Structure formats: structure tokens, C-alpha cells
Structure 1
Amino acid sequence: MDWIFGGRSVQRLMLSLLIIWGVNATYADHILNVKKFGAVSNGKTDSSQAFLRAWEKACNLGGGFKILVPNGVFLVKPLVFQGPCKGFMAMQIKGILRAPKYLSYFHDDDWIKFEHIDGLFISGGGVFDGQGAVAWPHNKCPKRKDCKLLPASFKLAHVTNATIQGITSLDSKSFHMIIFESRNIRVDGVKIKAPETSPNTDGIHIEGSSNVNVTRSVIGTGDDCISVGPGNKKVSILDVFCGPGHGISVGSLGKYPGEDDVFGLRVRNCTLAGTMNGVRVKTWQASPRSSASDFVFEDIVMRDVYNPIIIDQKYCPYSSCDEKFPSMVKLSNIKFRNIRGTSTSKVAVKLLCSKAVPCEDVELRDINLKYIKKGVPALASCSNVVHGSSKGLVIPPPCI
């Protein structure tokens, strides 16, 4: 835990949660039910303003009040739950929050956003229903680099000391959950669901944040289950089931000039089933200079995964890309340990590094990946210069 958050940060986060839980116990009658502010649970009446009125009252009262979204279906248009607040904020969501189907209701990038808040606890087992199926055909990002992403369902922006626990995100129009420029964030026991064919529906995207801990969650979607973008420090992913989807990815990195470095990622005790990728580090070709280092992927099970272990420094999902210049993102100190299971591609380990800045300190330790076709051995492939080592039993035989 100290590795994730750092000593004093742990104390502050735990104190925050204890205060929230203590407040909930002490002020059991101080519950702000959104229905008392005008929300209607018929799934058709716009309840946006009722939610905001409940939030504003709790935010200004200085703590000790919990916002309750009871059972039922609540239609809400794009919302921004704004801080700073005078106390810790607690929201218990038992019902279903339903987004408008049509993009004409959205003028920003997000559906529900929490921003500039210190101390936030969201729980209750409720559902964020993004109703994304109508919007997915309008997503141009799989074909165009300069596209505009469709609205994300849930975003934390400039939030400190928050726990998101036990909620479900269903059929987001784009990313399900974004953690942006936030710190000391815990996401625990969430469920994220979208069809395998839904475009750019990353489960959890983390960017510019520090001390983020994702645990005990089940994610199945049409893009990365979890994507760790630029500018992150100390991210931990533990006990996550991913599938379908594109795996657990660092990146893509290097798409824009001036991106901050990525440092410190641990992915542990996870299972990936039927995904396009397993654990992946991806950087754009022709990308500007930055660095990504100190990653550990360990104790991971692959079940029929196409690219179980992959470093891809020529990432480009489009039909034509600038291949004149290599990626300038420096990758170093990347450990793959105790990873086992089956690969649906013959090349189970693919390390495609940059021609300009070779990968450094790549470790393969105790790897056992087998090709699903019986009698046909799996292979490992290294491109350009990969500096590193292999330890223990490594199958397929390493190319480092």
C-alpha cells in the first residue's frame, strides 16, 4: 500500500475514508435523497437539476450529508459535480443513471464529471447506463487520427482522495471512466460492460495522475480494459478480469508533443480472456521524445489471447502512417514475470522496439505461453534492439 500511495498520502486517504464512513454512521438521518429535490425515477423525466440541487446543498453544508440515488431509473443530461466543497462528499447510488441516447444533448466530452474535489466516496452498486449503441456508428476515431472522441460516461478531473466502489458502467458512448490529473484514487469492485464491437470504449483510462489503485474489477469492452496514458506515476492494477477487449495497455504514448513521462506501474494477479492483447506497451511511430519506465507485469493468466505479451513502438491503427521517423519514447525497466496461458497467435511474445531508442532492461521471467494449436510451438519475436534478460523457465524460448 505504501508503494502505491506513499506513507503520508496513505494516512490522508484512510483518514478521509474513515471520516466519510464515520459521518455516514453518525449522521444516518442526514441523507439527501435526490427524489426530495425533484428527481423522477421513471427513466423519461430529466432529473439533472434535481441531482445538482442535492449536490450543491451537500457541498455547501460542510460534510455529514450523503446524497442518495434510490432504486429506479433516472434520466440525466450531462452533469458537472463541482467542487471545492466544505467537507467530504459521499454519494450512494442504488438506482440506474441513464444518459440521453443522442449526441445532440452533449456539448462537452463527458456525461458525468466530478471535478476539483478533495474527498469523495461513491458506492451503492448502481449503474451508469451510457446508452452508447446509437452513438457508436458516429465514432470516426478508428479511421481518423484527428477525430473528436464521443462523450465519456464518468470522469474524475482534479480530484484528490477518492474511492469509487461497486458501481457498474454499461454501454458508454466512448471511454467508460477517465481519471484525469487526479491523485490518491481507488477504484474497487467495479463492473464495466460493452460489446466487443463498440469502438473506443476503454474501460478505465488514467492520465496525468498519481497513486491510482484499481482492484477487484471485471471489465469487458470494445477497447483497452485499462489504458495507462501519459503523465502517470505509481499506478497499481490488482485482481482485474479483462475480456473481451484489447487488454491492459500502457499508451498509446507519444501522440502529442510535450507529453509527460510515465513512471511506476504494477499489474498483478489479473486474468485476460479472449482479448486482442494481453499486457501491452504501445507508442506511436514518429513520436516526440519522452520516457516510460519501471513497469512490472506479474502473476497473470492468459486465456486464448492474441498478443499475450507485446511491446509495440510502431503503433498506428490507421491504414497509412508516417513511417519515415521512429518513435522517440524511451522504454526501460519493464518486467514480465510469471505469465502463463494460451495464445491464439503463433507469436506469443512480441517485442517491437524503436530503431532510435532501444528498449532497456526488459526482463522475461517464468513465462509459459503455449499456442492453441496442438503440436505447434509458440514463438517469440524481437525487432530492432532489445536489451534485457530472461530468467527461469521461459516458453516460448526468448529472443532477448
Structure 2
Amino acid sequence: MTKPAITFPLLFTLVITFINISRSASNVFNVVSFGAKPEGVTDSTAAFLKAWQGACGSAASATVVVPKGTFLLKAITFGGPCKSKITFQVSGTVVAPADYRAFGNSGYWILFNKVSKMSLVGGTFDARANGFWSCRKSGQNCPPGVRSISFNSAKDVIISGVKSMNSQVTHMTLNGCNNVVVRNVRLVAPGNSPNTDGFHVQFSTGVTFTGSTVQTGDDCVAIGPGTRNFLITKLACGPGHGVSIGSLAKDLKEDGVENVTVSSSVFTGTQNGVRIKSWARPSTGFVRNVFFQNLIMKNVQNPIIIDQNYCPSHQGCPTERSGVKISGVTYKNIQGTSATQQAMKLVCSKSNPCTGIILQDIKLTYNKGAPATSYCFNAAGKSLGVIQPTSCLNR
């Protein structure tokens, strides 16, 4: 039987396919190929950095691969800008040095700086912070602590399927970022771990945080100055301190927070539900156009709270008045149970009262049987629908 001849179109297709396969393979940078050891003991920092540099310098889309296994990583910066899109795909576990002093005063563990069109996908990141927490609790002279995963001056970023465990301080931070989607992440630390915020964002625009679970010792989500167009949805928060805008008014000249929505989320056993917090001192900051809606509170100590008299130890607040102006805040369809009788507390600034507060369809009950109560100070707005506890707003 005569073998069929290879026609030119078929030959051309085979050649193009081979080139594409070769190009694709050449754009995969496996950290093991650069010397990383998946046994959790050998320092793999240099290998990770080499893999990143290869991907960052690639003219075509590239992938950094962290395969199954455990990899020890010290403080590292993955710097940009890079030539093309990068996917950082983690299948294994990345662990920090067991000795918390190894970080010194760096302030970060894993930092992505000035990257764009990048995805961080999967993996577990364990900062192993038990020793650091013990130091903090003992009152010793300890380092300031490091954030586990940080993005500085990044844009067009996707963070998906990541698990961060046992952070020294904040699990995940965005600073000066634009157009970031964070989805299906788990941020986990014990409820008694000090200052372990889950997700912190500041000076950033166009951030979505969705479908995630945060169990930690401080704020599940902390929203700092300069945050705009931030959506939080489908969050499971607890233990922790809830979702907080602030603390604001740390500085006199401070950027504001606006266009924030927290929706379709559940708070379980948290210190707060949704909170706006500012220092009782002068500031140019503001909070406006905020929507807290479709939320469930389960045994939450302060389900709805504004605190503009924040001043630990009564130090650093010479005027005892917050300059932060809060306006246009809506609380809609918030239901559940309060662990304290005062389920709603809106304490606003003496010099800048809250305006445009809307309460709509609120049903919060005190879980010990007595009627829940509300308290307002310098807070004005309107109430719509059924409000329980009774609204205390000034009209």
C-alpha cells in the first residue's frame, strides 16, 4: 500500500504546531528547574527569583510554576514592570522561616512591586507566625512584623484560590493598586492572634474582593485612606473584627474613602460587623457613598457601628474631634443577632456630624432575650421600612 504523501498545507500546520508547543514550553518557568527544593528546609528564595526574572523578561505570556511540595522562602520582591502577562501558578505550599527574626524590619514577606497583567493562582502560604505572636503577647522588644502577600503599585491583577495562613500581621495588602480582582481566597489565623488583619487596601481604585473566607485576629477587611470603587461581596467573616473603614485621621492631610459596597456577606462571632472608625483629631479625610447591604450577623458584638471618637489611651487627640466627614452611608437589609444589647451605635464627630445616613429594613435582635437598642450621637439621616432596634437618627 502506498503511504499518503504529506501535503504542503499539512506540513505547514505541523511546523506551526511544533513551534507553538516549543514556544509554550519555553515560557514555563518551574522553580524546581532553577534549584528550588520541595522539602521545606532548603532556602529556595534565589531559585524563585531566577524563575520570576525569566518570566518577567519573556516577550510572550509566561508562567511561573511552583509544583507540589513545600518550599522555604525568605523575604522576596518580585519586581516589574515585565514585558508580558505573567501567571504565577502555585500547586504546593510556601513557608516562611520558622525564626521570625529572619525578616528583620523588612515589613514584607512576599512583595509584588509594579507588576501588571498578572495572576496569582492557587497555593498555600504559611508564615508560621506562632513565635512572633508569642513575642508580641509577652511584651518583649519584637520586630514590627511582616505582611504575608503584598502588592504595591500594581494594576490589572487577579488573585484566585490562594490560602494564606498564620500571618505575622496582615495576610494580604494592596497599596496604590488599580483594577484588582481577589476571589475565592482563604485568610486564616487564630482569633487571638494580634493585629492579623485579613485583607487591607489603601490608595487603590477598582478592587473587587469576592467569594472569600477570612478567619483572623483583627479586621477581616481593613479599608484605608485613598480607597475608591471597592466591592466586597460573598464574604464569610469570623472570627475577627469585621469589615472596617479606618482607622482614618491618622494624619492631618489624608485622602478620603468613597464608593465602597459590602454586600451578600455573613459575619459570625465577630467583634464588629460593619464599622467606620476615625481618630478624634483633625483631618482632611472623608467617607462618602458607602453601601452596606444584604448582610447577616450571627452573634456579633457591634453589628452596625460608627466610631469617630477612637483614641486609645486618650493620647494624641488634643481636640477630641474628628475632622473626617462621613456622608451618604446606607445600611440596607441587615439581619441577625447581636452579642450585646446595643446592636447599633453611630457616634459621629462633634465638629463634622454624619449626614445622609440611611437605615432601611434592619432587623437585629439581642441574643439574650431583651430588646436590642440603638445609640446615635451627631448622626442625621432617614429610616425606611422596618427598623429594629428603633432608629435613633436625627432628621
TM-score (norm 1): 0.89
1:380 maps to 2:378: no
Change beyond 3 A, Cα 1:94–1:319 = farther
Gaps of 5+ in 2: 1-19
Post-superposition offset of 1:359: 0.1
The 3-state SS of whatever aligns with 2:182 is strand
Which one has a bigger Cα radius of gyration? 2
C-alpha deviations, 1:273-304, integer Å up to 9, x for none? Answer: 00000000000112423211000000000000
Q: Is the 8 A contact 1:297 1:337 kept in 2?
A: yes
Post-superposition offset of 1:246: 0.1
Aligned to 2:145: 150
The 3-state SS of whatever aligns with 1:54 is helix
- Give the whole-Å Cα distance in 2 for the aligned partners of 1:391 and 1:352: 20
RCO comparison, higher one (Cα < 8 Å, 6+): 1
- Identity value in percent: 38
Post-superposition offset of 1:148: 7.2
- Give the whole-Å Cα distance in 1 for the aligned partners of 2:82 and 2:159: 18
Aligned to 1:394: 387
Post-superposition offset of 1:267: 0.4
The 3-state SS of whatever aligns with 2:211 is strand
C-alpha deviations, 1:191-227, integer Å up to 9, x for none? Answer: 0100011111100000000000000000000000001
Q: Is the 8 A contact 1:143 1:318 kept in 2?
A: no
Matches within 5 A, 1:273-352: 273-318=268-313, 320=315, 322=317, 324-352=319-347
Aligned to 2:69: 72
Post-superposition offset of 1:360: 0.6
The 3-state SS of whatever aligns with 2:218 is coil
Matches within 5 A, 1:120-139: 120-124=118-122, 126-139=123-136
Matches within 5 A, 1:1-400: 27=24, 30-106=27-103, 107-124=105-122, 126-139=123-136, 149-318=144-313, 320=315, 322=317, 324-374=319-369, 376-383=370-377, 385-400=378-393
Gaps of 5+ in 1: 1-22
Post-superposition offset of 1:258: 1.7
Change beyond 3 A, Cα 1:148–1:299 = farther
Any runs of at least 4 consecutive aligned residues in structure 1 with deviations exceeding 4 A, and if so which? none
C-alpha deviations, 1:123-145, integer Å up to 9, x for none? Answer: 13x111011111113348x999x
Post-superposition offset of 1:29: 6.6
Q: Is the 8 A contact 1:139 1:150 kept in 2?
A: no
Aligned length: 372
The 3-state SS of whatever aligns with 2:87 is strand
- Give the whole-Å Cα distance in 1 for the aligned partners of 2:57 and 2:314: 52
The 3-state SS of whatever aligns with 1:134 is helix
Q: Which amino acid is 1:357 matched to? A: N
Q: Is the 8 A contact 1:151 1:174 kept in 2?
A: yes
CA-atom RMSD in angstroms: 2.1
Post-superposition offset of 1:308: 0.1
Q: Is the 8 A contact 1:33 1:69 kept in 2?
A: yes
Q: Which amino acid is 1:398 matched to? A: S
- Give the whole-Å Cα distance in 2 for the aligned partners of 1:317 and 1:143: 20
Post-superposition offset of 1:27: 2.6
Change beyond 3 A, Cα 1:64–1:246 = same
The 3-state SS of whatever aligns with 1:361 is strand
Aligned to 1:19: none
Q: Is the 8 A contact 2:255 2:284 kept in 1?
A: no
